[in-house]
Each structure stands twice: as C-alpha cells, then as structure tokens.
Structure 1
C-alpha cells in the first residue's frame, strides 16, 4: 500500500498529555478488584498508559495487602495519583501535595466532589483547586462533567487536558449526554479529552473513541466484571478499534439509501425501463 494512503498506525498515533507520550489510550483504576492477582492480570491484559492510585481510598482487605505497590512497581506503568474522596479545595490541594511526596510524581487526577449522591464534581471548587495546583507545578487532569464553559475555565487556569465523565461514577450507563459530550469534543478540537467514569462495556469505549476522544479511564467496569482481566482486554481492543476508525475517517451519514453497487455493468433488462 502507498504510504501516502496508509492509515496512521496506533504505534505512531500516541496519546500525548503535557508533552509526555503514552503507548496506550487506556488508563486503568486500581480499586475494588477481587484480589491482587486479578488486578495484576487486568493490568497485563490492558497494557494501560497509566494506572490511577487514590492516596485516601478506603482499601478493602485484598487491595491493602503489602504487595499492592510492589505489584504496580514491577509492571513499570506510570502512576496517576488522584484526590478521590475530597470535598473541599483545601482538602484536594493538601491530598495532591501528599500524593506527590508519596508517589514522587507531579501528575495528579483532580477529583473534587460536590454531590454525594451523583458524585458530580464541584465546578467552582474544581477550577480553584486546579489553578492552585498548576501554580504549584502539578500536571493536572481534572475530573469534570461535559460542561463546555467549565472546561474552558479549567483550560484558562492552565490545565492542558480534561477528563469529562460519560455518566456518574460506577453506574456503567455509558454516555448519558451524547450531545453535550460531542459538543465538548467539537468545540475543543485540540485539547486532549479522556472520558472518565460511567462506561460499562467495551462498546461504550469504542463509541467515544470513534467520536474523536483521546482515551478512556476505566475502573469499576473492569474490577467489577465477572472476569476482570478478560474485560480489561476487551476494553483495550475496543479503544484501539475506535481510535483506528476515527483516524480512518468514517463515511458521512445519510438520510436516504444509496446503492453501493454502480449502475455501470447492470444487465440490459434492468435498464431503459425494460
């Protein structure tokens, strides 16, 4: 095939955040797996670009095992600490600084929850916390909704990427507001956007990747599956397929049917009204 017409390969089409490139467009959470072995197998199956770790999470008996951090270190996957559970700006900023000391990284997934029922981010506090952390040298990935104006304000204070939800955390509903999420993508064409929260099955991930999103972050959809490692692999394949489809350039959608077989060469008795 002529190189000029070849689709961009995923090897060359890497996810780039804050100037750093990642081999995979899948980010994987590490909470609520049934066992450490299940977590290890899921990481091996998905080959994620980063794995998230919550400094303040309430670990269950399995994930609290001493081998948890050894497991992550052995796989050499970049860590993305998060501020899960924080409900004030001060709490989120303090947690981020603690995470930087513990995990020795400037990367932070900023979560600041404003509602306990929906786990919806606090948009006002999120912007304030992001601005403070950016000034403190963090590479902030803010967990937000699909609100375009909030997204723009986060970019204004220095964020270079956004992590909008597809649906509330842990629901597995997929994208509940396709219009809003696609508007966000269309209006911020040059901003890395990673869909975080609410995806439940691989087709959800494939869909947002086909829309041009840059990656997905998964946790519950994998950790609570009957077979987490198999689901992790399925998601990784779906993300790859969706990205390939986006890069390939899908056909334009039409309202009416159009024959795929040309008229030229049609038998004569089908022509001229015969």
Structure 2
C-alpha cells in the first residue's frame, strides 16, 4: 500500500497517522488472524474495547502483548456502555490501562439498532474533553448532533454508515453527504456498517477522511485478505477524491468527438 504524503496524511487533534484505515480487534477467529489482519491493513490506529476484554475470560495477556508488538497507536473505546457515568468511568480506566488520552466514545441508546444516545453522548463528550481526553464520538449522520458534539469540544466525528455489524454499507447517503458538505473542515471517519471494500471506497470518494472497520474483516472467510482489500479500497477512494471526479450527468454525452470522424458518418451516409 502506498504511504500517504505528509501533505495528505490523516491528522486528528494535531497528530498525524500513517493510514486512513482504523481497524477493530474484536471477534477474530484467533489471535494469529488478528495479527495477520493488522499487518495486511497497515492501520493508522487499532481500537480495543476495554469493558468487553475485561469481561471476557479469553482476554489473556497475549491479546495485549500482541497489540504492543504491532506498535500501532491504540484507540480504546467505551463499547457496551449504556449510561454517561459508565462511559466516562470506562474512559478513565482505559487511560490508566493503555496510557493514552485517546478515546472512541460509544454510548448506546437502543439495544436493537445499537444507535448512539445523542443526548448522553454530548454530555459524556463534554465531560471527557474537560478531563483532557481526545474524544472521537461514535454518532449518527445527524448534522445537528454533530454540531453539538463539536461545540462540546470534539475535533473529530465518527458517523455510522449503518448499524454496527450489519455490513449494509451506507443506508442514508444523502444524510452522510450533507454532513460532509456542511462540515468541510472537520475530520469525519465513517464508523460501523460497512461490509465491503467498495463501501469504503465510496465514502472516501465523497471526501470522508477515513473509515473504521471491524466485523467486515473479522467475520470474513479470510480476514487478512479482506483487511488488505479494505486498505486498497480506502486508498483508491481517497485518490479518486483528490483527482476530482467528473460531474454526474442525466443525459448521455459522447466521449468521442465528431471532429476527425469519417465524412460519410457526418453526412449521414452509409
């Protein structure tokens, strides 16, 4: 994969990252599969859910040692939290365990869709920003909620493409594109719901700054191969965005000019 130039590197909270791919670490068939996927994706950050790991009897020290060996910046998250206090407490625990101020803030408001609780999310974000965290809030594509999170001190938003783990791709293209257009200077990373590399390429073509993927990779038949495919999709989508795509048209326009065509075609002869 091509390493992005410093002029086009992903920058969050003033820090530059080597890739626009963020990779989750849950539900892989084995630690080796996870390790191979990290190598294949070359992510800028890898996420880890502190609560789930601590509550899972299989979360042996080997998991954390694997993450350290890869030397990829860690982004702890508050997955599984249902209240503001839970999320804030988990974030503080993660800061102690992983020795980082970075946190992906998740605060779930609905068990069926796993949609974020917008009111609690804003409150939790404001508290964590005051506590010195670099907060990346998992939110929907709602523009007003996004603005309130920015007002709370967040410098990055992580809107979903679709509900977590569904693999549907972007279910509200209009809303997501409006968010991008109305917040042109805010780093936006599409998180949740992407299932295919083409989904990642699509949002990157729209001008999004990165994607976070987990289930699409960990539940693939060959996770490491899928991780590589997503990395290539993100790279292709970013390159297309920077290249300036043509304007979509409703009517067909001939790609071959009339100039230079045989005279009998121009005259209508056979």
Q: TM-score, normalised by structure 1?
A: 0.94
Q: Output the CA distance in 2 between the equivalents of 1:239 and 1:128.
A: 32
Q: TM-score, normalised by structure 2?
A: 0.96
* Structure 2 residue aligned with 1:44: 39
* Structure 2 residue aligned with 1:234: 229
CA displacement at 1:61 relative to structure 2: 6.0
* Structure 1 residue aligned with 2:148: 153
Q: Output the CA distance in 1 between the equivalents of 2:266 and 2:97.
A: 76
Q: In structure 2, the residue corresponding to 1:57 is in which secondary structure?
A: helix
Q: In structure 2, the residue corresponding to 1:166 is in which secondary structure?
A: coil
Are residue 215 (structure 1) and residue 206 (structure 2) matched?
no
| Match runs of 1:1-40 below 5 Å | 10-12=4-6, 13-40=8-35
| Match runs of 1:1-274 below 5 Å | 10-12=4-6, 13-58=8-53, 64-274=59-269
Q: Deviations over 1:157-211 (max 9, x none)?
A: 1100100000000011100111111110111111000000000111111111011
Pairwise CA RMSD: 1.2
* Mapped contact 1:169–1:198 kept (Cα < 8 A): yes
Runs of at least 5 residues in structure 1 that lack an aligned partner in the other structure: 1-8
* Structure 2 residue aligned with 1:4: none
CA displacement at 1:259 relative to structure 2: 1.0
Count, aligned residues: 265
Q: Output the CA distance in 1 between the equivalents of 2:67 and 2:222.
A: 20
Where is the helix percentage greater, Structure 1 or Structure 2? 2
Q: Hey, which bits of structure 1, 4+ residues long, moved more than 3 A? A: 58-62
CA displacement at 1:262 relative to structure 2: 1.2
CA displacement at 1:66 relative to structure 2: 2.5
